[in-house]
Structure 1
């Protein structure tokens, strides 16, 4: 089997020749891998390592507007401004520095806001990339979100307060956010004609210790819109890959009912996220992706500890219905030998 066939087998509840292995790495770590392996392109890193990479897709936006041209930094098509922040000596991240909806207080004000248009996405470029990558890899994308985008536009603090204090405003904004992205994904999937295997929906619902929002808030604000998205995505023959960090177990049954197919990243160090228990409860209902601990073991452990952690995830989340991967993006200072140990352990695991 090749990488595409291997991952598709797991997604379809079939038995592959071996368990596939995926890896997420920040660009700085990818560059280190290129140098170590003597290759120039990112995909060649995965080919050389035997990684069954789930290839990311994006749909570029052609008409991003800067709300205030005098402000410095990157502004995306939602009007959210970012600034580069040095995370450590080896990596930079884009952190939100301007929330365009922060000062608004009335749903009617949203009518005059400059929302992105589904007409302004570059579907031709995205479809061409999807068709090329799908010859070899399972494809995943584009990234879409409901509450995460709202948080970036409103601020996390105000967004969470809105679930109680400003529900009408929140509903109105989420309707806009859902409509723009839903239409974009619908057009993209239709044009891609089967070249997109999964759509990436990201809405972090858990913190390190508990839910970020109450189950009632999830039920009111997110569940109906998520379910509509899942139905639309399934109508094109694609699957739904859902990302939520943290202690999000109380919401997993409703995520499954909404229609998600793959759950990522299984942050098992958080309360309620024990791998054995999740497998017992939901293993027949959803595919797990991720698992390998990425806050302590992968960046700071040794190769033996990484191998032990990987085998534990394979034993408890697999072997069927599981695609092992770093629990999130492996960071820039992660030792390459730990990445190698993770990949080798999956390769050697007997189904």
Structure 2
């Protein structure tokens, strides 16, 4: 059952803004989110080429949300090393590969002084001056909703864990919180600077302020609500509030995988307005439960499982489950449909198309296919 309230076709931006305001759009908005992995992208491109459909065009035509991110223009970084000094290496898993951390630059930091002595990245190493020009060039008519990337807004706990190693980062929260606070303070200042510089250019164009911090596992929380409240929440609150001051009309969204139901009140108190991922396979994350408990205050972005539904369901199951998500989470607005994470290679391409068909509806799906055929 589709959630349609008007015969007038909305633009992507109108559709997303209606959903974020808990108003019923013409249909539930769709975003590719993390998108298919490179290996899966190749599979989709080949599959669609057999039908004379251009994959890149289909993705663009079906995406309601455009990501904004000022490009890096700082000193050249060593291979596989990011701005934080974290080194990664490709790790094959049979059908593809993922990047695994090979060096944790703060692993030996045992005091706030060690943290302060670290060569932290420069937030001025980005091309803010041309950001507005780039956004307008990508969407000259202003039809797409705009999402300011988490690489601007921030993923403070996640970066600390990546710099330190997960086990040590979590034990430090309990045993050496002063070290954690020192690191989170430096990371937060970096993102505060990027937020100010980016939103000075594009605040009026932005609809979603995208933060990220994984706080859940498959079965529960990564840290307790008390640890979150005492150690992490002050930095989230600072960033969320700054973002809303700079772009008051935009919605604060945070990505978190896992079973995060029990920490949502703390996140909403910090200023969260949209939960991204909505990992329905995790414990306690049933769509009906989320909508009933928090649907009046919180929007949901995601929900289409890349763990079970897309890789293992039949086309019919994908269609019915996506329609159920649209009905449950999309009733009255407040939902942007998206995969819960990156779509992995091994997922049947027919299931990806079934997802699109179910969320977009027959008319918009066929129109997107026809548009992508014209560009093939």
- Normalising by the residue count of structure 2, what TM-score does the alignment of the two structures yield? 0.85
Q: Distance in 1 between matches of 2:241 and 2:178?
A: 25
Deviation sequence 1:101-126 (CA, Å, 0-9, x none): 00121211222211011222221343
Aligned with residue 108 of structure 2, among 103, 112, 133: 103
Q: Deviation of residue 61 (structure 1)?
A: 2.8
Aligned with residue 123 of structure 2, among 118, 123, 144: 118
Q: Does 1:158 align with 2:168?
A: yes
Deviation sequence 1:33-63 (CA, Å, 0-9, x none): 3442557783x22245xx2432222233333
In structure 2, the residue corresponding to 1:124 is in which secondary structure? coil
Q: Distance in 2 between matches of 1:167 and 1:284?
A: 35
Change (3 A) 1:40 1:283: same
Q: Distance in 2 between matches of 1:133 and 1:10?
A: 23
Aligned with residue 322 of structure 1, among 335, 340, 346: 335
Match of 1:304 in 2: 316
Q: Does 1:232 align with 2:238?
A: no
Match of 2:68 in 1: 57
Q: Deviation of residue 304 (structure 1)?
A: 0.8
Q: Does 1:221 align with 2:231?
A: yes
Deviation sequence 1:187-227 (CA, Å, 0-9, x none): 10111241222222110001000110011110012111111
Match of 1:92 in 2: 97
Q: Distance in 2 between matches of 1:32 and 1:128?
A: 33
Q: Deviation of residue 64 (structure 1)?
A: 5.0
Aligned-pair Cα RMSD in Å: 2.1
Q: Does 1:77 align with 2:83?
A: yes
Q: Deviation of residue 158 (structure 1)?
A: 0.6
Change (3 A) 1:130 1:41: farther
Match of 1:289 in 2: 301
Q: Distance in 2 between matches of 1:47 and 1:59?
A: 20
Match of 2:368 in 1: none
Match of 1:334 in 2: 347
In structure 1, the residue corresponding to 2:234 is in which secondary structure? helix
- The answer to whether the 8 A contact 1:279-1:316 is kept is yes
Match of 1:16 in 2: 25
Q: Does 1:25 align with 2:36?
A: yes
Change (3 A) 1:82 1:212: same
> Which range is displaced more, 220-229 or 24-33?
24-33
- The answer to whether the 8 A contact 2:28-2:326 is kept is no
> Which range is displaced more, 191-200 or 128-137?
128-137
Q: Does 1:262 align with 2:274?
A: yes
Structure 1: give runs of 5+ residues left out of the alignment.
Answer: none
Deviation sequence 1:296-332 (CA, Å, 0-9, x none): 2201221111112212212322222111111111112
Deviation sequence 1:65-106 (CA, Å, 0-9, x none): 75xx6xxx41111111111122332x3222111000001212
Q: Distance in 2 between matches of 1:207 and 1:65?
A: 35
Change (3 A) 1:31 1:141: farther
Deviation sequence 1:244-290 (CA, Å, 0-9, x none): 11111111011111111211111122222121111011001011111
Q: Does 1:136 align with 2:143?
A: yes
Q: Deviation of residue 349 (structure 1)?
A: 8.8
Match of 2:366 in 1: none
Q: Distance in 1 between matches of 2:354 and 2:55?
A: 22
In structure 2, the residue corresponding to 1:264 is in which secondary structure? strand
Q: Deviation of residue 148 (structure 1)?
A: 0.5
Q: Distance in 2 between matches of 1:207 and 1:64?
A: 36
User: What is the number of equivalent residue pairs in this alignment?
Assistant: 341
